[in-house]
Amino acid sequence: MNTRFLDVLNGRPVDRTPIWVMRQAGRYLPEYRAVRAKHSFLDMVYTPEVAVEVTLQPIDIFGFDAAIIFSDILVIPEAMGMHVQFLEGRGPVFDAPIRDFRAIDRLGSISATDKLDPIYEAVRLARTELEGKVPLIGFAGAPWTLAAYMIEGSGSKTFQHARAALYTHPDAMHALLDRLTREIIIYLKNKIAAGAQAIQIFDSWAGQLTPQQFRTFSLPYLKKISEAISATGTPVILFARNAAHSLDELSQAGAAALGIDWQTEMAPCCDLIKNRVAVQGNLDPLALFATPGEIRAQVGQVLENVGSSQRHIFNLGHGILPQTPVASVRALVDAVHELSPLYHREKTGVTL
Amino acid sequence: MNTRFLDVLNGRPVDRTPIWVMRQAGRYLPEYRAVRAKHSFLDMVYTPEVAVEVTLQPIDIFGFDAAIIFSDILVIPEAMGMHVQFLEGRGPVFDAPIRDFRAIDRLGSISATDKLDPIYEAVRLARTELEGKVPLIGFAGAPWTLAAYMIEGSGSKTFQHARAALYTHPDAMHALLDRLTREIIIYLKNKIAAGAQAIQIFDSWAGQLTPQQFRTFSLPYLKKISEAISATGTPVILFARNAAHSLDELSQAGAAALGIDWQTEMAPCCDLIKNRVAVQGNLDPLALFATPGEIRAQVGQVLENVGSSQRHIFNLGHGILPQTPVASVRALVDAVHELSPLYHREKTGVTL
């Protein structure tokens, strides 16, 4: 039973830094690509046996310290009645993005449909198959990130429609964000009931907001979700990408940990949040294109930037890229296993 | 003769905050679109009369306090022998991106070709036609930003090839960046000789680097360029987008002003750089989709964030978007004209 990941979230000492990797069940793995060749992306998400198979692959292959259920953040808008397709090379595309805000009133609740049942079933099944080996993470997109996709209709360099709406229709935007917040809380509580032992919230487009907008249109909703989920006893990791301007506020939003992106400097972050919460991150995903020796040096740098007084979960600062060599992931895990115990000796009572 | 823009760069008091807008000669203007309908983008860049026509349009229409010569940052790689096309909706695309670093040795020097002569001629002509009405800005892309395009071959969400090269071929990357630095300095000195009165350096992809990489692979080259250009007596504005982590270092890199993007908070920036240099920015370009009243409020907020002790050039925090309503640009200019004098009264001796 490897509890390191939950131990760090709960503020207990560990013998070494736990590690998992965002998108660890993903295209860089030949075993994943073999499954993907037989199913569409959404089929994988909505077929519990398949979702569980790819969820467990990186645990078996690399011995990561946590599993994260294979899924997608856009299942919530889908379950609310919006249709989304995943197009090769373009990512998610909505058939009918929200451009008239009256459309918000026509969105259904995820409670009124059984569309998400296969996801809860996948969580249940993954938890059983893990047999307590490592904890299982559930996740959701943040309200702003979901709203950005629902209005824009796809990924975007500028999220022009969604961002313009913050200026032109602030009340409608708050209504949408509030609505999404409530649905996300229901969704996450269902995932927890099915067996998820920690929750990560992805605010992938937090950095598309001005700092002022982030504090108005994202942070209050992140706080509401974190507090509602933490109250159930399940720890929450908030990953608001490129929102370093608000780390202090984020560290007081009810989460157990903050995800730190690779564009943010770890040392000043740690100084700022003063071990109030754990940090998770933040190796540059591109560092995995370097030699094993250089990867080891970069891992050492992240550990050194965090230091020994800050609670830390090792991760990349963004999702692992599909082209990443598998050998690099092994070098990464080895380096964390070998280099991180040094940073935990004092806390676990071993003298240097 | 409106010298406000140069006055701020040179540390002289002004009666109100000068304003210009990045991409002010651009697609949001019907007058620009009329010219663009008759020419390809690169034709416009390389035909002096046309480049000058669109350069002057926003000055005549809005009374901005500076003109910026219509051009593109990729003319340097072009003049070095790389072929780039501008595809509608995709932006610039290189025929043969650099993937083998031996290709760097085959790049020519801009001094060995007359390819850039029409650009220098456009600067000369624009300067003449402006008749001293407002100063003329010349610009170049930063070495890292040019290298990123030359290696990646186009814009990119991750700049995966260019960024991986920083880990796998750091020496070759430094050789390329050093080479580009020398070409950029030649180019800018030619532009100054032709009449450019200030220079802006666009490090558009600075935010694609880790803070450590920015300080290794971008900042030293920005400093080299700023110092070489400043030594000619021409002020330099450094716009390193999403590199707020290094503002302190940037403010000591030999520039007269720093461009501040809209994702960065102006007030702490100003505290940090302590009026060592002027700041330029940083209204969110999306704010121009709001009502005139809201635009005025947002302009007021930027002026308030900067305060009266910091030297300031008003601008957007990124280029103006093609869909921006012209009436919004007028509201923006009016608001700066009306609200900013308040922040300059003390310095110009007028009592409140």
B149 counts as catalytic = yes
Residue B154 counted as domain residue = yes
Q: Whole-structure pTM over 0.90, yes or no? A: yes
The pLDDT value recorded for residue B262 is: 98
CA B211 – CA A264 distance, rounded (Å)? 7
Nearest-Cα residue of chain B relative to residue A298: B167
Closest residue to A207, CB basis, from B168, B209, B263: B263
Residue A350 counted as domain residue = no
Query: What's the rounded mean pLDDT across residues B20-30?
Result: 98
CA A237 – CA A277 distance, rounded (Å)? 9
Residue B140 β-bridge partners? B201
Report A:289-328 residues touching B (Cβ under 8 A): 289-291, 294, 321, 323
Run of H or E residues at B292: helix B292-306
Which among A210, A266, A301 is the top mutation candidate for probing chain B, defined by the most B β-carbons within 10 Å of its own β-carbon?
Answer: A210
Here the tokens at position B34 are: 């009329």
Residue B91 counted as domain residue = yes
Sheet with A136-141, edge to edge strand ranges: A67-68, A136-141, A198-203, A236-240, A257-260, A278-283, A312-316
B171 counts as catalytic = no
Contact between residue A28 and residue A58 where contact means Cβ atoms under 8 Å apart = no
Going by the DSSP 8-state scheme, the letter that residue B321 receives in this structure is P
Contacts of A325 in chain B (CB under 8 A): none
> A112, exposed or middle or buried, with CB in 10 Å at 0-12, 13-18, 19+?
exposed
CA A334 – CA A339 distance, rounded (Å)? 8
The pLDDT value recorded for residue B345 is: 85
The pLDDT value recorded for residue B31 is: 98
Which residue range(s) make up the domain with B210?
A: 4-344
Interchain contact, B211 vs A163, CB within 8 Å: no
Point out the catalytic residue in the list A23, A124, A163, A241. Answer: A23
pLDDT tens-digit profile, chain A (352 residues):
899 999 999 999 999 999 999 999 999 999 999 999 999 999 999 999 999 999 999 999 999 999 999 999 999 999 999 999 998 778 899 999 999 999 999 999 999 999 999 999 999 999 999 999 999 999 999 999 999 999 999 999 899 999 999 999 999 999 999 999 999 999 999 999 999 999 999 999 999 999 999 999 999 999 999 999 999 999 999 999 999 999 999 999 999 999 999 999 999 999 999 999 999 999 999 999 999 999 999 999 999 999 999 999 999 999 999 999 999 999 999 999 999 999 998 665 554 4
The pLDDT value recorded for residue A348 is: 57
Per-residue pLDDT tens for A204-217?
999 999 999 999 99
Residue A82 counted as domain residue = yes
Residue B79 counted as domain residue = yes
CA B262 – CA A275 distance, rounded (Å)? 30
> What CATH number does the domain containing B74 carry?
3.20.20.210
**Number of compact structural domains in chain A:** 1
Q: Dump strand ranges (E) for A182-253.
A: 198-203, 236-240
Which among B263, B271, B320 is the top mutation candidate for probing chain A, defined by the most A β-carbons within 10 Å of its own β-carbon?
Answer: B263
Residue A349 counted as domain residue = no
Per-residue pLDDT tens for B48-77?
999 999 999 999 999 999 999 999 999 999
Q: Output A123 or B349, whichever has higher pLDDT.
A: A123
A27 counts as catalytic = yes
Contacts of B210 in chain A (CB under 8 A): 262-263, 284
Residue B351 counted as domain residue = no
Here the tokens at position B207 are: 């935010």
Asked if residue B305 has pLDDT above 80, the reply is yes
Residue A159 counted as domain residue = yes
Interchain contact, B160 vs A321, CB within 8 Å: yes
Contacts of A148 in chain B (CB under 8 A): none
Angle at A180 between CA A192 and CA A123, to 5 degrees: 25
CA B228 – CA B250 distance, rounded (Å)? 15
The alpha carbon of residue A109 and the mean position of all alpha carbons in its chain are separated, in whole angstroms, by 23
The pLDDT value recorded for residue B107 is: 96
Here the tokens at position A45 are: 């998400």
Here the tokens at position B318 are: 């990124």
B330 counts as catalytic = no
